[in-house]
């Protein structure tokens, strides 16, 4: 065998091993992102469905992100495309289908399927967030907890963080809703009471909405961080490049840096 053939053979074998390693990694994270189905009952008797996603090492003490979706949506539809990135960064995830949701993001809200014709306001979904926090501790997660909300649930995570300062370690609020639909649970009502690190995010297109600039300024006055994603879309989908139809790396960088600075992502 000539030296050229030997070198070519070694390169081909190395490339094959690299491709196999990448394939196995992709399959591994795809399996992880499928989630482990769970359910729990809230204090007011609603059965909430959701999924646990384990980071590769499956450490219960790794940071846990509680994922809450936007109105008219479900957890898998909004967070399925984002889960692998967060898992790869070392975060465990618990996503739930709140009682106020739907199929807007091409998913199925399993909680809604079980509550018949009952209709709830955005504020009335707050027990779902409380239940998720309680379930996470009962299940055995012991690491830092991040409350992550989108649209109406981004407003509710302000209330959750203000009410449970010893159990919530950081907050991410994507397009926090306000105004009449949120009367009684607007984020402005709880912003000053949130002592944990908090990052509120908006797509650039929402900065022209009448109340948004004042809301973001209020958050800054209360010591919270803010970020405007340009380009971006509503809610947590501003991290989804397919929905933004552009790169979302700048927003991802901001989110991951905030998480790292706030609670870290080390498993040991």
- Among 20-34, 98-112, 175-189, 224-238, the range scoring the smallest mean pLDDT is 20-34
Pairing of strands 47-53, 92-97: antiparallel
pLDDT digits over 88-116, tens only?
999 999 999 999 998 989 889 999 988 98
Give the separation between CA 266 and CA 268, rounded to whole angstroms. Answer: 6
**Residue partners of 235: CB distance under 8 A and separation at least 6:** 69, 70, 73, 78, 150, 151, 154, 174, 175
Span 66-86, average pLDDT: 97
Ordered strands of the 225-229 beta sheet: 36-41, 47-53, 92-97, 64-68, 145-150, 170-174, 198-203, 225-229
pLDDT band at 262 (very low <50, low <70, confident <90, very high): very high
Average of per-residue pLDDT values in the chain: 89
**What's the pLDDT at 151?**
98
**What's the pLDDT at 199?**
98
* Token digits of residue 151: 């649209």
Span 167-181, average pLDDT: 97
- At residue 84, the 3 state secondary structure works out as helix
Q: For residue 20, which phi and psi values (nearest 5 degrees)? A: -65, -40
Span 70-84, average pLDDT: 96
CA distances from 264 to 38, 90, 129, 141, 256 (A): 26, 10, 23, 16, 10
In this model, does residue 87 exceed pLDDT 60? Answer: yes
- Name the nearest CA neighbour of 187 among 231, 155, 144: 155
Give the separation between CA 140 and CA 62, rounded to whole angstroms. Answer: 11
Span 241-253, average pLDDT: 98
Span 5-33, average pLDDT: 48
Contact by Cβ (8 Å): 6, 56? no
């Amino acid at each position: 065998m000539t030296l050229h053939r030997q070198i070519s053979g070694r390169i081909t074998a190395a490339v094959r091993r690299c491709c196999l390693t990448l394939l196995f990694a992709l399959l591994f994270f795809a399996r992880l992102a499928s989630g482990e189905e769970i359910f729990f009952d809230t204090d007011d008797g609603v059965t909430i469905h959701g999924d646990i996603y384990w980071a590769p090492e499956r450490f219960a003490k790794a940071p846990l992100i509680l994922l809450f979706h936007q109105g008219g949506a479900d957890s898998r539809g909004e967070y399925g495309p984002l889960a692998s990135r967060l898992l790869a960064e070392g975060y465990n995830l618990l996503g739930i289908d709140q009682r106020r949701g739907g199929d807007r993001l091409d998913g199925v809200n399993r909680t809604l399927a079980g509550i018949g014709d009952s209709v709830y306001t955005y504020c009335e979904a707050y027990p779902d967030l409380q239940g998720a926090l309680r379930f996470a501790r009962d299940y055995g997660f012991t690491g830092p907890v991040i409350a992550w909300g989108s649209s109406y649930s981004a407003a509710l995570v302000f209330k959750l963080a203000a009410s449970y300062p010893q159990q919530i370690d950081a907050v991410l609020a994507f397009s926090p809703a306000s105004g009449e639909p949120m009367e009684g649970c607007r984020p402005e009502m709880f912003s000053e009471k949130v002592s944990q690190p908090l990052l509120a995010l908006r797509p650039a297109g929402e900065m022209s909405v009448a109340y948004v600039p004042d809301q973001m300024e209020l958050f800054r006055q209360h010591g919270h961080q803010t970020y405007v994603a340009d380009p971006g879309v509503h809610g947590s989908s501003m991290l989804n490049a397919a929905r933004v139809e552009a790169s979302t790396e700048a927003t991802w960088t901001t989110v991951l840096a905030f998480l790292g600075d706030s609670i870290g992502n080390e498993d040991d």
